[in-house]
Amino acid sequence: MDRRRIFDRYGVSDTNSQYLQTKHDYSEYNRFSLNKNEDFGQRFNINQDIAFYHKLSITANYFEKIILSKNAKKVHVVMFYNDWCFKCTRIVDAFKKILELLQPIGISFATVNAVHEESIFRKCGAREVPQLVLILDNQYFLYRDHNFTPQKVVEFIRKKIPSKIFKRIEPDNLNGFLDGWMDNRARALIFEPRSMTRLRYLLTAFEFYDRVAFGFVNTINRKSSNIIARFKVNTSLDTLILFNEDTTSYTASISMQEIPTQALVNLVSTNQFLVLPRISSQNMMESVCPTEWNRQRKRLCVILVTENKEKDDIEKVALRNIALNMGYHSKRVRFAYIFRESQPDFIKAISKGSYKDSLIHIVIIWRRDKNRIKYDWVNVGKQNGNSSPEHFINSTKNEISNAIKKLLKNSEALCYEAFVENLINEHSQGILTKWISQFLYVVDYLSDNIEEEHLFAFISLLGTFGFMFAVGYVLIYFVKVEEENLKAQGQLFDIQVFERY
């Protein structure tokens, strides 16, 4: 090969040039796609990992309406990512493992593109990607541990679950716990042969906190022997027992080596209400007395209108006994009571057709939709001194039974109709309670987000202010001492007189 030909082909004439040396073939590694029409971003394996984030990606609208819903009692884990975030791709496998571990026990997972949904990114307090955020009761908790492992994430979630959602049960507080159903919540006891409660049970307790109070019993604790004997619990298994107002017997139970989450949720949701629950919020109304437009499938709700006074307890006891023995399916007929003084607007809306004060106020309602109800009052007399409680209960039961049988017929219609607004939430926090809760949340947020160098800088700043205050105080003290000495010597008076002239 002559020098001219070499120059024409390679641009050099020196046969010893590096351009003519044998080179290693790297084509077998296929680092880039050979398709020229393919986007540059598609030539990297990064997209095989980012695609996993895309599958779980949600919008700001979904985030606001579903995850931040007022009725949402689910624990959500949200991962913020970016399409060109290489750190995000490195933790995909770890994120998959966390999802596969925690999603089956009731934690919802989602991802958000921090660039496309910047408003959510700022709202959660995140500053960089990737960022894992735990959303619990509409509060945001940022996971800042550099060890992105399932064990660390589980510890993080355990730490953030409020301790108020469960109670450790021992012999001295068992009866008080079971008899506490006057707070309008059913009772659940979970027996475990371990000191640390399974996360799935804590998540269930959090989800049903407004309906069911959970107590946990450690079966390997010697103090629990009497409780175990009382309920005949197998100490080698996990056991769930549910109670309503009657604490002498339970409504449902399940025992397994490891209770599946779905079985746990199904059992609790089926038995989450008392025999005679109190309608104390719109959410409770929706749950106890759901809407049904179709006349053939209409659902009736028998509601005792009473007051929060001890003298009216006999009426609630009577209706509770009637509800236990009536035998109607809960999907067609439910029993409840409501406090007149707590829901004045609702009582006023259905006041038409109500009987005299000498009668017990029992109303049967059929909710056609959220704001439209049809209703009818039941004529039931109050107990007098001459009649026994059994006679009073039987007569009340007969009146209610006759009214229900009549109104369940497709041909029968309820007499009155009303449009009602949402009920007042009797469990809403007061201003002081909200301030305290917000303060505790801020303290928890700061403890999670302030790093050591920030903490040292803050302490240094406080120390500087403290030193300046101390020096100023000492200087003022010496000035006052000197002033007193001058006054004693008469020099300060002379100076003041001189300045006057």
pLDDT tens for each residue of 288-324:
999 999 888 899 999 999 998 888 888 898 899 889 8
Residue 33 lies in a domain: no
Indicate if 181 and 286 belong to the same structural domain: no
Tell me how far apart the alpha carbons of residues 158 and 203 are, in angstroms, rounded to a whole number.
9
Q: Answer yes or no: is pLDDT of 359 > 80.
A: no
Q: Examine the pLDDT at 466 and tell me if it is beyond 90.
A: no
Residues 209 and 164: their CA atoms lie apart, in Å, by 9
> Of the ranges 179-193, 254-268, 321-335, 472-486, which one carries the lowest mean pLDDT score?
472-486
Lowest-pLDDT range, 72-81, 222-231, 235-244, 492-501?
492-501
Model confidence at 489, in pLDDT bands (50, 70, 90)?
A: low
pLDDT of 140 higher than 80:
yes
pLDDT at 254: 96
Number of domains present in the structure of the chain: 4
Report the CATH number at residue 336: 3.40.30.10
pLDDT at residue 459 in the model: 77
Sign of CA dihedral 354, 358, 359, 365: positive
457 within a domain of the structure (yes/no) = yes
Residue 446 has a pLDDT of: 56
Q: Which domain holds residue 465?
A: 452-500
- In this structure, the answer to whether residues 144 and 180 fall within a common structural domain is no
Last residue of a domain, one of 238, 270, 302: 270
In a domain, 435, yes or no: no
Question: What would the mean pLDDT of 209-224 be, rounded to a whole number?
Answer: 94
305 lies in the same domain as 402: yes
Average the pLDDT over 51-58 and give the result: 92
pLDDT at 153: 96
Q: Are residues 185 and 260 in the same domain?
A: yes
CB atoms within 10 A of CB 223: 12
49-53, 146-150, 428-432: range with lowest mean pLDDT: 428-432
Judge whether 94 lies within some domain.
Answer: yes
Spatial CA neighbour of 107 closest among 93, 122, 95: 95
My answer on whether 141 and 51 are in the same domain is yes
Residue 8 lies in a domain: no
Claim to verify: residue 318 and residue 390 sit in the same structural domain: yes
pTM for the model: 0.75
170 and 139 both lie in a single domain: no
Q: Among 100-104, 162-166, 296-300, name the most confident range.
A: 100-104
Is the CB of residue 81 less than 8 Å from the CB of residue 129? yes
Strand order from edge to edge, sheet including 252-256 = 166-168, 212-218, 186-192, 238-243, 252-256
Question: What's the pLDDT at 453?
Answer: 52
Percent of the chain with pLDDT over 70: 78
Residue 444 lies in a domain: no
191 and 298 inside one domain: no
What is the pLDDT confidence band of residue 250, given thresholds at 50, 70 and 90?
Answer: very high
- Both 289 and 404 in one domain: the answer is yes
Whether residue 178 lies inside any domain: the answer is yes
pLDDT, position 357:
65
Residue 36: the pLDDT is 43
Question: How many C-beta atoms surround the C-beta of residue 227 within 10 A?
Answer: 20
Same domain, 90 and 112: yes
pLDDT value at 162 more than 80: yes
Tell me which of 101, 125, 148 is where a domain ends: 148
My answer on whether 255 and 320 are in the same domain is no
Residue 428 is assigned to a structural domain of this protein: no
Would you state the pLDDT for residue 101? 96
Summarize the confidence of residues 358-367 as an average pLDDT.
86
Q: Residue 44's pLDDT is what?
A: 46
Q: Return mean pLDDT, the chain.
A: 83
Residues 408, 306 share a domain:
yes
Instruction: Tell me what pLDDT residue 458 has.
Output: 67
The mean pLDDT value for 381-401 works out to 75
Closest CA to 53 of 76, 81, 87: 81
Range 89-118 average pLDDT: 94
Where among 248, 270, 292 does a domain terminate?
Answer: 270
Name the more confident of 145 and 14: 145
Q: What percent of the chain has pLDDT over 90?
A: 52
pLDDT top residue among 2 and 32: 2
H or E segment at 120?
Answer: helix 118-123
